[in-house]
Structure 1
Amino acid sequence: MMPMNIRPAPSASRSSKVMRRCLGWSVSALIVGILAACGSAPPVVRAPVEPVRTVVPAAPGPAPAVGPVVTQSRSRWVPVPWDSLPGWGADNLFEAWNAWLKSCERPQPPMSALCAEVRRLSIGSPQEQMEWMQTRLQPHRVETLQGEPTGLLTGYYEPILDASRQPAPGFSVPLYQLPAGMTPRKPWFTRQEMETLPEAQAALRGKAIAYLADPVDALVLQIQGSGRVRITQPDGSMRWVRLAYAGTNEQPYRSVGRWLLDQGLIKDASWPGIKAWLAQNPQRQQELLWSNPRVVFFKEEPLGELDAAFGPKGAQGVALTPGRSIAVDPGSIPYGAPVWLTSTGNQTNLQKLVLAQDTGSAIVGAVRADYFAGWGPDAAELAGRMRQPLQMWILWPK
């Protein structure tokens, strides 16, 4: 998921999140509710969504194992030769190296043993980087425990919104900090109860960070787990901040798209399709929102020039890189692991090196990933419609 004044660039839930993905929400359940931002803000380098690259077809059938299979709690890893990775050798590896350097800020063994070499190779040639990877790493095809190598890729991003520090005409939808007295992993009030029960409203009094104009935008922000917000201060000045994931009310996530599909109200469950239905049925907006009982709470973080060049922090605790960070199920793939990803669909064709740096409550399964597209309209469009087949190879130290 750009100048911050704001022509947004491409970056996340997710329940890490950081779920920063809170994240972790599958962005097939995503609302493209981006407000075009304006006004002044610190300039940043635009990090565009990755261009579509030529797909190099895989060899017919899965490659045979070249060593013992490694079993994880939710997946198995089948060691395979490098030439079985579709598109290997065609990716611009240096574009992924910044994401790898971020993972080395919070490394986990055994990947931590490679970080000195990763840092040294940040100025190496693409050929040197590829040869080093082939020498030090072994690709493993990620499969379900039953041996299925194909799963699902969705996308997420960082919305850009306008907000007010205080309730004001046109800004009446609160975004809350984490309320005091909540018990971890114990369900709190649902979304509907938070808006209707006096005891819930009393617990939330004084906890609003900012106010949005549209409750649907607030839902989008909660699904993504993080957002860039231009806040109007009480003195009339403007300030850019990141609202980052702080926790949830521990209620189950329910996809509003699935709710509409189950009732036969729509056939297109992408967020453009959901927005179109809402435009025709505004009287049912509250019913739609309440169908998802989960609410995400936020914390405010500065959004300086360097911060704005990357996305929010993911579950690994490092800033996400547009087009090179993914959210995974940590029961299948450990945080910080490099992953070769291939996915072909209507939205984009991907054959590239990415880093497992985040998770989300909807990101469950062996061959399952959420692709961090960046921030802004382009990222929102890509993430909002991305739902396509996925194969992954984890690149693990020999």
Structure 2
Amino acid sequence: MEAGRHPRRLSRVARPPAGRGLRPGRIAAFALLCLLAACAVPPRHVAELPGWGEDSLAEAIPAFIAGCRPPALPEALCAEAAALPRGDNAAARAFFERRFTLRAAGEGLMTGYYEPELRGAASRGGPYTIPLHGRPSDLVEVDLGRFAPDLRGRRTAGRVEAGRLVPYPDRAAIEAGAVEAPVLLWVDDAAEKFFLQIQGSGRVVLPDGSVRRMGYAAQNGRAYVPIGRLLAERGEIPREQVSMQSILAWLEAAGPERARALMAENPSYVFFREASARPEQGPSGSLGVPLTPLRSIAVDRGEIPLGSPVWIVAKHPLTGAPIRRLVLAQDTGGAIKGPARADLFWGWGEAAAEAAGRMKETATLYVLEPAAP
């Protein structure tokens, strides 16, 4: 992938040793190898990042300050960021160049997510028959890294039976009533609820026009299985056409029984809590701060510490235009595993849903780590 590489200017091809002339075809091949070798040189300093001078870095400072805290970032560095003049791109650029070093995370898959909007009601009735569950009292979340260093960053969940922790029921069992969990709201569409669980948070519009915000509360510890991949493997949707939009269309056309059976093949199940946030703010991520459209990403916290600034090099899923910008690792996700796997938060509304639903791009990630004093 050419993004993220800096070709050096080649003034001429090196002259071969006397008596060992290169034929014209070999000269061209030798020049090409030299060019490719130069292109493979990665950026070593923050200022060398591809597109670094093009981003409005001052826009990232509020999100950076909101999530700036130890252990990922020292307090002195956070205080320095808070003192930067607002809206000053030059000051923001100098701050990151002076106070951070680069760590290449590599290339990986970048998907997108957004804050969906559903229709619902406080009580069951009419079209509102699909429950949004709150966290069950018997669910136990486990940080496996506290028990074994090689499991650092890995988590699971279960419940205690006869003094032992056992796996928590899967999606099908929960939907069948195997768990006693409070119902926060009732919504009118099972597929929309399914994607709300994938996104982890959203807005529910009640019949009187008021809005209730749903935030992530817990997950049942089961592995996430993408149903888009299942549909592609079975020839239901061409692999290159798999997106949130095409999956929703398939679920609607399939009918309730087939749709329910397919969704049950993803055993992961997310429970919600009611969240308070201003309408202009995004939902709260795993770091505990509101997500900022196109400035917040979900990462594997075992690979990239939450709060870290990350430079991403990708392309827009709809226009193909380059995306080269500073984002903040402020969230996690069940499907976000690996050193360069990321999920870009697009915001809310139809435009965000369209872009997020179609984003499935190869991206290059660079983690900005605090420089030694």
TM-score normalized with structure 1 length: 0.73
CA–CA separation in structure 2 for the residues paired with 1:363 and 1:109: 19
Contact map agreement 1:340 1:392 (CA 8 A) in 2: yes
Task: Say if 2:73 is the partner of 1:116.
Answer: no
Change (3 A) 1:179 1:346: closer
Aligned with residue 265 of structure 2, among 291, 297, 304: 291
- Give the alignment partner of residue 171 of structure 1, picking from 106, 120, 128: 128
Q: Residue 336 of structure 1 corresponds to which residue in structure 2?
A: 307
Match of 2:6 in 1: 59
CA shift at 1:109, angstroms?
4.5
Matched, 1:396 2:359: no
The one-letter amino acid of 1:112's match is E
SS at match of 2:64: helix
Q: 1:194 to 1:333 in 2, by over 3 A?
A: closer
Corresponding residue for 2:32?
none
SS of 1:362's equivalent in the other structure is coil
Find the residue that maps to 1:98 and give its secondary structure.
helix
Give the secondary structure class of the aligned counterpart of 1:157. strand
* Gap change, CA 1:354 and 1:195, over 3 Å in 2: closer
CA shift for structure 1 position 125: 2.0
Q: Which residue of 1 aligns with 2:53?
A: 89
Query: 5+ unaligned residues in a row in structure 2: which ranges?
Result: 8-38, 142-156, 159-166
Q: Letter of the aligned partner of 1:291 in structure 2?
A: E
How far apart are the structure 1 equivalents of 2:344 and 2:209?
31
Deviation at 1:346, TM superposition (A): 4.0
- Report the counterpart of residue 217 of structure 2 in structure 1: 246
Counterpart position of 1:11: none
**2:188 aligned partner:** 213
Write the mapping of 1:309-324 to structure 2, written as runs, cut at 5 A.
309-324=280-295
**Contact 1:345-1:389 within 8 A present in 2 as well:** no
* Aligned 1:45-56 pairs, distance under 5 A: none
**Contact 2:99–2:370, Cα closer than 8 Å, also in 1:** yes
Shift, 1:308, TM fit: 2.1
Shift of 1:329: 1.2
SS in structure 2 of the partner of residue 89 of structure 1: helix
Q: 2-side partners of 1:343 and 1:292: how far apart?
A: 28
Is the 8 Å Cα contact of residues 72 and 308 (structure 2) preserved in structure 1?
no
CA distance in 2, matches of 1:94, 1:152: 27
Q: Kindly indicate whether the alpha-carbon contact (under 8 Å) linking 1:339 and 1:394 is maintained by their aligned counterparts in 2.
A: yes
User: CA shift at 1:279, angstroms?
Assistant: 3.5
Give the conservation status (yes or no) of the 8 Å contact 1:56–1:87.
Answer: no
CA 1:275–1:109: 2 relative to 1, 3 Å: closer
CA displacement 1:324-352 (0-9 Å, x = unmatched): 00111122211111111111254352101
Q: Which of 308, 330, 353 is 1:357 aligned to?
A: 330
**d(CA) in 2 for partners of 1:124, 1:221:** 34
Counterparts of 1:366 and 1:188, CA distance in 2 = 27
Contact 1:58–1:84 under 8 Å retained in 2: no
Paired with 1:344 and 1:386, the residues of 2 have a C-alpha distance of 9
How much does 1:122 deviate?
A: 4.1
| Contact in 2 for aligned 1:210/1:231 (Cα 8 Å) | no
SS in 1 for 2:53: coil
Q: Give identity over the alignment, percent.
A: 39
Name the SS for the 1:179 alignment partner. coil
- Cα pair distance change 1:122/1:188, threshold 3 Å: farther
| Partner secondary structure for residue 62 of structure 2 | helix
CA deviation digits over 1:276-315, x for unaligned, max 9? 3234322511211211122111111234xxx222212211
**CA distance in 2 between partners of 1:56 and 1:150 (Å):** 10
**TM-score, normalised to structure 2's length?**
0.78
Q: Could you report, residue by residue, the CA deviation over 1:148-203 in whole angstroms, capped at 9, with x for unpaired residues?
A: x3211111111011210001111100001112222332122222222335xx26x2
Comparing 337-346 with 207-216, greater Cα deviation is found at: 337-346
For the structure 1 residues 276 and 384, does the alpha-carbon distance in structure 2 shift closer, same or farther, using more than 3 Å as the test? same
The residue aligned with 2:250 is 277
Counterpart for residue 194 of structure 1: 174
* Aligned with 1:125 (options 71, 88, 91): 88
What residue is the counterpart of 1:135 in the other structure? 98
C-alpha deviation, 1:356, in angstroms: 0.9
| Deviation (angstroms), 1:238 | 4.4
Higher relative contact order (CA 8 A, sep 6+): 1
- The root-mean-square deviation of aligned C-alpha atoms, in Å, is 2.1
Tell whether the 8 Å contact from 1:311 to 1:320 is kept in structure 2 after alignment: yes
Does the 8 Å CA contact 1:111/1:336 hold for their aligned counterparts? no
Larger radius of gyration: 2
Q: Name the CA distance, whole Å, in 1 between partners of 2:45 and 2:216.
A: 39
Match of 1:40 in 2: none
One-letter identity of the residue aligned with 2:217: A
